[in-house]
Amino acid sequence: MNMPLPSETLDSLRFDNRFTALLPADDNLHNTRRQVYGACYSRVVPMPVAAPRLLAYSREVAAELGLDEESCATTLFTEVFVGNRLLPGMDPYAMCYGGHQFGNWAGQLGDGRAINLGEVLTGDGRHLTLQLKGAGPTPDSRRADGLAVLRSSLREFLCSEAMHHLGIPTTRALSLIATGEEVERDMFYDGHPRLEPGAVVCRVAPSFLRFGNYELPASRGDLDLLRRLVDFTIANDFTELGPPCPESYQRWFKEVCRRTARLMVEWMRVGFVHGVMNTDNMSILGLTIDYGPYGWLEDFDPGWTPNTTDAQGRRYCYNNQPHIAQWNLAQLANALYPLIGRVEPLQEAVNEYSELFVDGWNEMMAAKLGFAMAGTEEDRLVKELMQLLPRLDIDMTIFFRNLAELHPAMEPAADGELPAPVTAALYRPEGGDEGTRMAMNGWLRRYLHRLSLVGGSDEERRRRMNAVNPRYVLRNYLAQMAIERAEQGDISFIALLLDTLRRPYDDQPQRSHLAEKRPEWARHKDGCSMLSCSS
């Protein structure tokens, strides 16, 4: 029997490039920095690199694309997904978009360091766009180099996959490839540039369209382009809404609001803080997109932001995310208004977002506490808990995971001695002042009483709680350890994290050290508690 050569398997990726086939292109083919008018994208090819080395790939994403493990181990795979070679059918381009950054209109931004290779048509008829991040400059690079460093690429690769396995809508990551070249970065913009290893991530999503793609033509009064892009989006990515027309535009915006509300509920559930929720980082599909200075809540501090650039205003801190998402939706509504011509339906959808978020959040929190539904008493318990947790210096992930270990029949102490599953989550052994600990025990007593009324077996409740309270998240310090080891040439920790985070809701006894709370050394360390947009 003739075995197919692995390279043939890779070549068997089928492309059907709707975006470039159906939307207007920039007619300038030179890769020079510029404003791009009247076009949704500019054609541009990735920049070749000297010595690419595959550091990791996601076998699940590969499988979705129809790539087997053997193909992923070939030199061709590494060459293609670092940008050194194009496959037949690829039609690379950078998308043109704008955005509101930190509340201000920033004009054209665009794919400054992302190059879309084309849309793979999967075996089951879906379109998945391949996008290289860090593969060289594009017309949208402005004053930057179009490159990405290993630390930020590794963080994007691992977190995309971790979020997917947590069940949270996200862009995916196929591969993480070191370029073998160095990139200069001033990590904290404080005059200390250093050379860092470069890397390229291949991201995968049904679409990489952002709110900013619609805002840019709207800001320029280019309604024809805006309409073409909206029609394209509805016809290709929201087929269930019917053919594009002013009525379906309204239904579409409503659907974007609905998905965004769901995404915010999900981020809040697991303690994810995006860090840069500018409108150019908001996916039109409601996916988590653009992993930069993101972080995970460790001690439950609702005002925490991982992004040093945001440390003053805390615009993008944990608690503010749902509100900012709504603000971003309002910017999108403004952009779409000329196509719809009426404010009311847009306003209604933005208002409805709040209701959807609040209902979704209440249900989600009730589920985290093991309740089957969110009634008045459950809501009250949740509210009280939200007041107490920030006063305790307590790890969010461990606290919620351990709640399932409490038995409804147990009786918390009358004094300030907290039960062991709660103590295990505290960052300081004493955990808040005596009054707070007593209040916590009071809360636990009422909570357990309420749980005892729910009925059902303990085991069943535990199973439900463990399905929404992960044991494993990509803790900031774990990502940092993976980075430091990879920079020393040891990539085994990336593989270990990737594999562990495949099953975030399962107890994995051999890997319990990866579920531990942040060690003291990481409390104020760069990369663990402080990140910047420099990447």
111 binds ligand AMP (CB under 6 A): yes
User: Residues 325, 277: contact at Cβ < 8 Å?
Assistant: yes
CA distance 171 to 467: 22
**Of 91 and 145, CB closest to ligand AMP:** 145
Please confirm, yes or no, whether 499 is among the known catalytic residues. no
CA distance 481 to 513: 13
- In sequence order, the 6+-apart residues with CB closer than 8 A to the CB of 61 are 161, 172, 173, 174, 204
The listed partner (ligand AMP, Mg ion, none) that binds 144, CB under 5 to 8 Å by sort, is ligand AMP
Minimal distance in Å, beta carbon 292 to ligand AMP?
5
Among 5, 21, 29, 144, binds ligand AMP (CB under 6 A): 144
CA distance 207 to 224: 21
* Residue among 137, 121, 99, 97 nearest 18 (CA): 121
User: Residues 210, 284: contact at Cβ < 8 Å?
Assistant: yes
196 binds ligand AMP (CB under 6 A): no
Positive or negative, the CA dihedral 444, 446, 451, 452 is: positive
Site for ligand AMP in 147-176 (CB under 6 A): 147
Question: Which element (helix H / strand E) includes 104?
Answer: strand 104-108
31-39, 139-147, 347-355, 385-393 -> range binding ligand AMP (CB under 6 A): 139-147
309 binds Mg ion (CB under 5 A): no
Question: Which one-letter DSSP state was computed for residue 48?
Answer: P
**Of 131 and 233, CB closest to Mg ion:** 131
What is the chain's length?
Answer: 535
**Of 145 and 379, CB closest to ligand AMP:** 145
146 binds ligand AMP (CB under 6 A): yes
* Residue among 126, 119, 88, 122 nearest 8 (CA): 88
* Residue among 38, 40, 32 nearest 143 (CA): 32
The listed partner (Mg ion, ligand AMP, none) that binds 83, CB under 5 to 8 Å by sort, is none
Minimal distance in Å, beta carbon 111 to Mg ion?
9
CA distance 108 to 110: 6
290 binds Mg ion (CB under 5 A): yes
42-50, 77-85, 182-190, 280-288 -> range binding Mg ion (CB under 5 A): 280-288
Minimal distance in Å, beta carbon 281 to Mg ion?
5
**Of 77 and 294, CB closest to Mg ion:** 294
Site for ligand AMP in 289-318 (CB under 6 A): 290, 292
Among 260, 281, 283, 321, binds Mg ion (CB under 5 A): 281
Minimal distance in Å, beta carbon 43 to ligand AMP?
17
In the chain the first and final C-alpha atoms are separated, in Å, by: 48
Q: Given 231, 280, 290, 393, which residue is catalytic?
A: 280
Minimal distance in Å, beta carbon 272 to ligand AMP?
16
**Of 78 and 532, CB closest to ligand AMP:** 532
120 SS3 class: strand
| Other Cβ atoms closer than 10 A to 153 | 29
User: Residues 271, 401: contact at Cβ < 8 Å?
Assistant: no
Count of chain residues binding ligand AMP (CB under 6 A):
17
281 binds ligand AMP (CB under 6 A): yes
User: Residues 94, 138: contact at Cβ < 8 Å?
Assistant: yes
156 binds Mg ion (CB under 5 A): no
Q: Which residue is nearest to ligand AMP (CB)?
A: 112
**Look-up of token digits 């061709």:** 76
Question: Which one-letter DSSP state was computed for residue 26?
Answer: P
The listed partner (Mg ion, ligand AMP, none) that binds 155, CB under 5 to 8 Å by sort, is none
User: Which two structure tokens, joined as six digits, stand for 133?
Assistant: 């991040």
**Of 135 and 448, CB closest to ligand AMP:** 135
Minimal distance in Å, beta carbon 285 to ligand AMP?
17
The listed partner (Mg ion, ligand AMP, none) that binds 465, CB under 5 to 8 Å by sort, is none
Among 109, 270, 324, 403, binds ligand AMP (CB under 6 A): 109
122-130, 138-146, 282-290, 520-528 -> range binding Mg ion (CB under 5 A): 282-290
Minimal distance in Å, beta carbon 108 to ligand AMP?
8
Query: Which neighbouring-strand residues pair with 56?
Result: 176
Minimal distance in Å, beta carbon 78 to ligand AMP?
22
132 binds ligand AMP (CB under 6 A): no
- CA trace torsion 332, 334, 336, 339 (10° rounding): 180
Q: What are phi and psi of 115, to 5 degrees?
A: -125, 120
CA distance 30 to 86: 18
User: Which two structure tokens, joined as six digits, stand for 462?
Assistant: 């535990």
**Of 143 and 192, CB closest to ligand AMP:** 143
Q: What residues are labeled active site?
A: 280
Binding site for ligand AMP (CB under 6 A): 109-113, 140-141, 144-147, 276, 280-281, 290, 292, 533
Residues that bind Mg ion (CB under 5 A): 281, 290
